[in-house]
Every structure is written in structure tokens, then in C-alpha cells.
Amino acid sequence: MLKDRYPSRLLEDAVEAIGTLPGVGRRSAMRLALHLLRQPSDNVHHLAQSLVALRDQVKYCSCCMNISDDDICSICSDARRDHRTICVVETVRDVMSIENTGQYGGVYHVLGGSISPIDGIGPGDLTISKLIARVQELCADGDSAPEVIMALGGDIEGETTAFYIYRQLAPLNVNVTTLARGLGFGDDLEYADEVTLGRSLTGRQPFKP
């Protein structure tokens, strides 16, 4: 394909910069650039500033490694939450998903991904050692055993990571639990895959009418 002939170097620069975003091809980048041209200048400045502010000013909570505006995130600094229950998740998005359920009152630990040899991500690239240190501190600190909830992905990488963490936590006095796996709300048996339905069966629970 011939290189596109841009009528303006500014347009070309913008299209190339937008095109580096994941999932945005050259056509979409062009469409977005021409859209921005038609917007009020203030809107474009606001967009640009918010991107730079996000990149340069956002912090990571020194306790749970969640994204935060301060050194300690609003969840870790909330005294009403149960700080002896740690929910281990892969990403910031997972924290938001669980918070949106309104069903969880503990704290989190964001790993930053999952162990994936194919992608070159080993345990050292994640915040696992930090998690173990947190749990060790909790064990030394109180009477009751803390709880660690594995809320990792249901794929091979997630299960590998959960198993790796579990082995390091096993010597400690800690309850390790994992998210229930089974049929989703409203799911039909007919359309469930075998693994999901199988786990739903083996993990069956007392009927509470």
C-alpha cells in the first residue's frame, strides 16, 4: 500500500500518535483526529491535559499497589474496612469490578498481572513478595488468622499464579479462599461450557430456600 499523503504535517503527527493506541487503526486514528479538529479548542486541551496528568501524577498505593491519588489509597486508609481480609486481584480494573458489587468490605492486593511464561512474566514481575510480606505481618500482628481471597482470572495464567501464591502462603496461619466458580446469574445449563458446568457440580452448595 502506498503511504498516505497527508495534506498537513500536524495531521500526520496526530494520526500517527493516536494510531499507537491499542485497538486504534489508521482509519480510526484519522477519524478521531478529524473529530478533534471540529471540537472547541478547550475540549482538546482538557483531553491532552488529563492524559498527561494521569501519566505523570497518578500514584500507586504503597500498601495494596492500587492506583491512587495519594501514597495510601482510599480503600487502605478506610478504617471501617476489614484489613485482615485481603482480596488478591490481577489489575486495577478488577478492584473496580469488585467494588462495584458493593459486596466486599476487606482490602485488596493488586498483583499487576498474572504469571505467564509465554509473555515473559514471572513471579518477580508481580507484587507477590510484597503480598507475602503483608500477610506475614498480619499473622504476627493479631490473634485471628487473616484471610486471603484469590480473585484471579479463570485462565491457565490465573490458576498458575493462584497456585504459586498458595504454596508460599501454606506455611502461614492464613485462610486461603478463592472466588466461587460456576454458572453465572441467569445462565442456562444448556449453553454452559463443560468446565463451568463441571465446576458448578463439584462445588455444589447446600440449598437455601
Q: How far is the CB of 141 from a copy of itself (least distance, A)?
A: 25
Contact indicator for 86, 134 with CB cutoff of 8 Å = yes
Residue ranges that bind a copy of itself, judged by CB under 8 A: 2, 4-11, 13-14, 16-18, 20-23, 28, 30-37, 39, 41, 43-58, 66-69, 73-75, 91-93, 95-96, 99-100, 102
Q: How far is the CB of 7 from a copy of itself (least distance, A)?
A: 5
Q: Which of residues 20 and 202 has its CB atom nearest to a copy of itself in the complex? A: 20
Q: How far is CA 140 from CA 9, 145, 148, 196, 202, in A?
A: 62, 10, 15, 38, 35
Q: How far is the CB of 69 from a copy of itself (least distance, A)?
A: 5
C-alpha cell at 78: 478506610
Residue 137: burial class (beta carbons within 10 Å; 0-12, 13-18, 19+): exposed
Q: How far is the CB of 202 from a copy of itself (least distance, A)?
A: 32
Q: Which of residues 5 and 204 has its CB atom nearest to a copy of itself in the complex? A: 5
Pairing between β-strand 106-110 and β-strand 59-60 as defined by DSSP bridges: unpaired
Q: Which of residues 34 and 156 has its CB atom nearest to a copy of itself in the complex? A: 34
Q: Which of residues 48 and 156 has its CB atom nearest to a copy of itself in the complex? A: 48
The strand pairing partners of 109, in sequence order, are: 88
Helices (H), 58-124: 92-101
